[in-house]
A and B are shown apart, each in its own frame.
Chain A
Amino acid sequence: MAKFSIATVFIASISLLLALSNSFSLENPTDRRILVLVDDLALKSSHSIFFSSLQTRGFELDFKLSDDPKIALQRYGQYLYDGLILFSPTIERFGGSLDVAAILDFVDSGKDLIVAADASASDLIRNIAAECGVDFDEDSSAVVIDHGSYAVSGTEGDHTLIAADDFIQSDVLLGTTKIEAPVLFKGIGHSLNPANSLVLKVLSASPSAYSANPKSKLSSPPSLSGSSISLVSVVQARNNARVLFSGSLDLFSNKFFKSPVQKAGSSNKYAKSGNQQFVTELSKWVFHERGHLKAVNVRHHRVGETDEPAIYRINDDLEYLVEIYEWSGSSWEPYVANDVQIQFYMMSPYVLKTMSTDKKGLYHTSFKVPDVYGVFQFKVEYQRLGYTSLSLAKQIPVRPFRHNEYERFIPTAFPYYGASFSTMAAFFIFSFVYLYSK
């Protein structure tokens, strides 16, 4: 019996270990387990292309109704999920222990979040967004209308179906393949807090767009208008948690994925909208399949040496090397860029230099230590749009010359040396002359 229980515990711990090793970690930053909260399970079918694209990429999706009383993000202090998808725009109160604070804690612990709202977005969803610097239009009846760049359609005449093509210029967010076809959007707009530097507008509305109720007359200026309306935004927190906000749940739907699109005033007809590519690429980013960097093997030494010294002397020539890799979803690939910069820093940067790369992930540079002594830092502060930020700092003291390290024989002083020695020679001769001459 005892043997049996020991075996059970052993098997349980092994399976727990396996489960843990399968989840998000520093070495394997892609999310694995995702909780999907929906208002209606029919969404599973109407948005199945999006969900199956996640499943084929290896994610385990756990679908729950958003008012399910059994919802829990963590158990025994451990998070059960690495990501959360909120496809429940109308929910006023989550089931179980989930609330705004729990979701923010989830993000604060480095987990990822996708939130989709639509014209019926509840205060709960608006609050979550507002906490992340995304402010949905306060007028609950307002939707984004665009009489300039709507999607031409035989059945949608009120110009709330928008063909948006003002994407952020970033390969890491939207993939290297350019999104040719416009993205269909039908929902509410939001604005970004200008003081928040972590939130980025991924898809903006066109300058002629505005956010209003299409059914009622516009009596006061719309609170959101023009290209300051953001349709889809992302947030990358300082702990590299990533959050996606979309004002349209339909953006992710099979219907929009497959529908042909033609932007008003343009003769280009596309057989398929850009939604699928846009959403797939963006979800790759959100779930850390792209744009996640790590820096390893940070080392520095004097030119011509290999060992790392404990201290540098002013005017030494040194070499600094670091290897940077990007997570591709399955493995760490060398990261290639030409803008990684190193700072030699004491209160302010004394040297700031762009490092050269061998295109295999290794970045290196060499420079002369400044002629100021003190405690310096090697600093790599790499913050690029869409990438996780790298922040490396290594302290290193710098000392002045020792007394015997200065130049020994200065030519300018030769006359003085000469004078001394000639006096000594003269004294020596004079001692003979004085004593023995007659």
Chain B
Amino acid sequence: MELSKISAVKKELGTLFRYFLVFCKTWEANGPKYYDSVTLKTLAFQIQLVLQSPITSPAIKFAMAKKLGFAFLVLVAASICEAAVIFNPISEAHRSAALELFSVAAGKFSSLEEAFEALRTFEVLEIETKPDLKDSTCKYVVDTLSSGSSNAKDLYHALRVSSLLKCKISKGDLAGAASRLKDSVKDAKSLLDFYYPVGGLILIKDQTSEVDVLFADGDGIFRSVKALSQSDGRWRYSSNNPESSTFAAGVALETLSGIITLTSSEIDGNLIDTLKNDVVKLFDNIHKYDDGAYYFDDQLLDASGHQGPLSATSSVVRGLTAFSSTSGSLNIPGDKILGLARFFLGIGIPGNGKDLYYQIDALACLENNRVSVPLILSLPACVISVTRQEKLKVRVTTVLGSTAPPLSVKLMQVFSSGSKDASIIKQELKFDPKEAVHTLDALPVGVDIGEYVFAFEIVLSDPEHKKIYATGGRTKVPIYITGVVEVDNAKVEVLESDSIETQKTLDLPGKNDVALSANHLQKLWLSFQLTTPLQNRFKPHQALLKLRHESGVEHMFVVGNSGKQFEITLDFLGLVEKFFYLSGKYDMEVTVGDAAMENSFLQPLGHIELDLPDVPEKATRPPPQAVDPYSRYGPKPEITHIFRPQEKRPPQELSYAFLGLVFVPLLGFFFGLLRLGVNMKNFPTSTVPATFAILFHGGIAAVLVLYALFWLKLDLFTTLKTLGFVGMFLMFVGHRTLSHLASTSSKVKSS
């Protein structure tokens, strides 16, 4: 019996423990957002089960409950952490953005719709409209109203603009417009056919009481509009279009509240009650962001062809405000209204005029609505410096930034982001009526520098106001408390088998230039201590030691926290492979930084000369280093061709001198001939042989001249050809001359 009980307990315990483990894992993977209230409830229920289960041993009971209870606490903390976002009310930035986005070119609006959007935004933001713009727009309005061709939509926009600008419109024009609008209601089919005339008639009613704008058959019109509503609270644009839209719901609400105002008789109370139900149903479809903002989404294109949550939400807010002002209170929770306000404020400053109008108009509606007016808690600064003794300031305003009713702000809880536990305090903030800010005089005890989430609660002084204003319970804001962290006992050592080889103290943050040297059998040890202003130990997010080799290869190490101090030991024996066996100079650099640390630093420490073993064959090569882009693209060095040097030649003078010398033998030859006494006595005397002799020598001269010409300009072929002719001629005349000379000499011999 006892045995089976114990095994059952073990089994149950095992299941619960597994559940807890799964929870822990999912927690790690997905963070706090994964868990919603359902998980929380399940867990709470399980704790209860464990405590009630018929397990005998109270010790086991207690242990299980403790484990689950811890999980419960963590989840509670997490569910609170998720919504830590600050929303700021409308500010000066919106005004300058409005002026920029609605800057009117050529002093005139392009359409009355655009004119209304601009003027409405200006009105809410309290920006003056220029008089000349006013005049030109009013003229446009009057033209539209008096023109017979304008339809209900034009008339509606014209009346809207004139209600803002207070244009002077003749009673006749108003009466004409009213009758035309009334006519168009009669044969209206779609939602927008109702919307424009009803809106227009309301505006006429506001401007003058002398024109009859009331419907005789208000109830009937009301019913025909109501016929377009859907079961989920959304509306259709027309009866033959089955698709429903959230934007249309806002339009319908606005139209119906207009019809209620314009009806002379009473509308059926049941109808209004079903309508109120529809509104509540509509709010069941609301979407939620993580930061607590609520919005409506719309799949359909809205009337102006502008799609998106902003226009849909804005339309619903407008409709809701109009409806609540005519038909009294609506049962809508204040946090949803606050969520809607947060949605519009969370957008920031939209980038186009239409979106800005949607945002500002919706916020203006929320500011004055009858359901509940949202109050926004904002912080001028959520980074608080303890060294500069800054104080935490909180401002509570309405969405448009006007002052809130008398109230007090309490700091309820402080969550530390590191430890997930919440300390519960109730500290009221001091109100400064002059600046309308609530100031926290002193930080709660135990709040050191770091990241926190503060939970504030707004308490309205007048209990009556609780029905009018939505404060949204606790508002969580992230707070960063920063300060100067002191660095002590910074040391760097080179160790060899646990005996200190070299030790250098460092000045952090400050200038250091240590020069160390180590081989692969030694170790490098670096340590320092960090203390917060409250003398607690501080654990920064970033504590890194970087070693950079001359070649640019970098190695980074996380400086670990050993409880008392930050230290790191680099055992080079185990790191040689990681260092790619690169010996040489390594620059050391230590970085300590944290969001809460005002004196985060990046400090070069000096260098260490490492003597590592030689690179083995199979070692991995260091990764390639990035090339400086500037050097990659610069112009290349110029290249000029080196020409072959000119052949070496003697100076010209020498050539001329030798030319002269070459002629010396010729002169010697002449001189010798003169000395020998040469004569021409043998020259034939008779005419014929003399002629042949002259021709013969002329021929020789011609051959020599031919040679000279060949040298100067003639080519080989011409030369040989000419030489052939001249040679034949020379043979002939030479033969005659020589035979004549031979015969003369044989005559002389014989005689």
Q: How far is the CA of A370 from the CA of B417 in the complex (A)?
A: 76
Shortest CB-to-CB span from A205 to chain B, Å, is: 12
Shortest CB-to-CB span from B333 to chain A, Å, is: 26
Interface of A is mostly: mixed
By a CB distance below 8 angstroms, the chain B residues around A431 are 697, 700
Q: How far is the CA of A429 from the CA of B671 in the complex (A)?
A: 12
Contact A436 B681 (CB under 8 A): yes
Chain A residue with Cβ nearest B635: A339
Contact B546 A437 (CB under 8 A): no
Q: How far is the CA of A214 from the CA of B480 in the complex (A)?
A: 13
Contact A148 B593 (CB under 8 A): yes
Contact pattern, B 641-685, Cβ under 8 Å of A = 1, otherwise 0: 101100001101001101101110110011001001011111100
Q: Which A residues form the contact surface with B (CB < 8 A)?
A: 41-42, 44-49, 51-52, 145-148, 153-159, 168-169, 192, 194-195, 197, 200-201, 207-208, 210, 212, 214-215, 217-222, 225-226, 228, 254-255, 258, 315, 339, 341, 343-344, 349-354, 367-368, 370-372, 383-385, 410-415, 417-419, 421-422, 424-433, 435-438
Chain A residue with Cβ nearest B358: A45
Contact B594 A45 (CB under 8 A): no
Given A46-B351, A217-B541, A350-B641, is A422 in contact with B655 using a C-beta cutoff of 8 Å? no
Q: How far is the CA of A102 from the CA of B390 in the complex (A)?
A: 55
Contact B629 A157 (CB under 8 A): no
Q: How far is the CA of A214 from the CA of B594 in the complex (A)?
A: 9
> Which of B153-161, B380-388, B521-529 sits within the interface?
B380-388
By a CB distance below 8 angstroms, the chain A residues around B554 are 226, 228
- Scan residues 321-357 of chain B and give those whose CB is less than 8 A from a CB of chain A: 347-352, 355
Contact B679 A438 (CB under 8 A): yes
B443 within 8 A of A: no
By a CB distance below 8 angstroms, the chain A residues around B633 are 383-385
Q: Which of B541, B629, B652, B670 contacts A429 (CB 8 A)?
A: B670
Chain A residue with Cβ nearest B676: A437
Contact A225 B597 (CB under 8 A): no
B291 within 8 A of A: no
Q: Which of B351, B629, B700 contacts A168 (CB 8 A)?
A: B629
By a CB distance below 8 angstroms, the chain B residues around A410 are 649
Task: Give me 19 A-to-B residue pairs in the complex whose CB atoms sit less than 8 angstroms apart, sorted by A's number.
Answer: A44-B351, A147-B600, A207-B602, A226-B546, A254-B349, A258-B93, A351-B639, A352-B638, A353-B639, A354-B638, A367-B640, A411-B655, A414-B655, A415-B658, A415-B662, A426-B669, A428-B700, A435-B682, A437-B679
Contact B623 A194 (CB under 8 A): yes
Given A194-B626, A221-B557, is A212 in contact with B650 using a C-beta cutoff of 8 Å? no
Q: Which of A44, A197, A201, A221 contacts B556 (CB 8 A)?
A: A221
Q: How far is the CA of A424 from the CA of B624 in the complex (A)?
A: 79
Contact B640 A414 (CB under 8 A): no
- Scan residues 701-721 of chain B and give those whose CB is less than 8 A from a CB of chain A: 701, 704, 707-708, 711
Q: Which of A148, A352, A415, A424 contacts B639 (CB 8 A)?
A: A352
Contact B355 A45 (CB under 8 A): yes
By a CB distance below 8 angstroms, the chain B residues around A339 are 634-635
By a CB distance below 8 angstroms, the chain A residues around B544 are 210, 221-222, 225
Q: How far is the CA of A343 from the CA of B741 in the complex (A)?
A: 76
Q: How far is the CA of A155 from the CA of B85 in the complex (A)?
A: 10
Contact B558 A436 (CB under 8 A): no
Interface of B is mostly: mixed
Contact A41 B593 (CB under 8 A): no
Contact B644 A254 (CB under 8 A): no
By a CB distance below 8 angstroms, the chain B residues around A155 are 86, 379, 381-383
B636 within 8 A of A: yes
Q: How far is the CA of A200 from the CA of B630 in the complex (A)?
A: 10
B38 within 8 A of A: no
By a CB distance below 8 angstroms, the chain A residues around B349 are 254-255, 258
Which of A210, A339, A435: most chain B Cβ within 10 A?
A: A435
B627 within 8 A of A: yes
Return the 9 tightest CB-CB contacts between A and B, nearest first.
A48-B351, A157-B480, A147-B593, A154-B381, A147-B600, A370-B641, A352-B639, A415-B658, A221-B556
Shortest CB-to-CB span from A170 to chain B, Å, is: 9
Shortest CB-to-CB span from B667 to chain A, Å, is: 9
Chain B residue with Cβ nearest A433: B678
B71 within 8 A of A: no
Given A159-B595, A414-B656, is A341 in contact with B635 using a C-beta cutoff of 8 Å? yes
Contact A412 B649 (CB under 8 A): yes
- Scan residues 70-114 of chain B and give those whose CB is less than 8 A from a CB of chain A: 86, 93
Q: Which of B593, B601, B681 contacts A437 (CB 8 A)?
A: B681
Shortest CB-to-CB span from A410 to chain B, Å, is: 8
Contact pattern, B 519-544, Cβ under 8 Å of A = 1, otherwise 0: 00000000000000000000101111
Q: How far is the CA of A57 from the CA of B673 in the complex (A)?
A: 104
Chain B residue with Cβ nearest A49: B351
Contact pattern, B 586-623, Cβ under 8 Å of A = 1, otherwise 0: 00000101110100111000000000000000000001
By a CB distance below 8 angstroms, the chain B residues around A349 are 639
B307 within 8 A of A: yes
- Scan residues 540-571 of chain B and give those whose CB is less than 8 A from a CB of chain A: 541-544, 546, 554, 556-558
Q: How far is the CA of A228 from the CA of B623 in the complex (A)?
A: 14
Q: Which of A194, A343, A414, A430 contacts B624 (CB 8 A)?
A: A194
Q: How far is the CA of A225 from the CA of B680 in the complex (A)?
A: 113
Q: Which of A217, A254, A430, A432 contacts B351 (CB 8 A)?
A: A254
Contact A157 B350 (CB under 8 A): no
B749 within 8 A of A: no
Q: Which of A46, A49, A168, A221 contacts B558 (CB 8 A)?
A: A221
Q: How far is the CA of A339 from the CA of B638 in the complex (A)?
A: 11
Q: How far is the CA of A424 from the CA of B711 in the complex (A)?
A: 13
Q: Which of B347, B595, B630 contacts A385 (CB 8 A)?
A: B630
Q: Which of A200, A258, A350, A436 contacts B683 (CB 8 A)?
A: A436
Q: How far is the CA of A153 from the CA of B382 in the complex (A)?
A: 9
Shortest CB-to-CB span from A130 to chain B, Å, is: 17
Shortest CB-to-CB span from B107 to chain A, Å, is: 21
Shortest CB-to-CB span from A23 to chain B, Å, is: 27
Q: Which of B661, B673, B681 contacts A415 (CB 8 A)?
A: B661
Shortest CB-to-CB span from A42 to chain B, Å, is: 6
Contact A436 B682 (CB under 8 A): yes
Contact A422 B665 (CB under 8 A): yes
Contact B351 A426 (CB under 8 A): no
Chain B residue with Cβ nearest A370: B641
Shortest CB-to-CB span from B581 to chain A, Å, is: 20
Contact A45 B680 (CB under 8 A): no
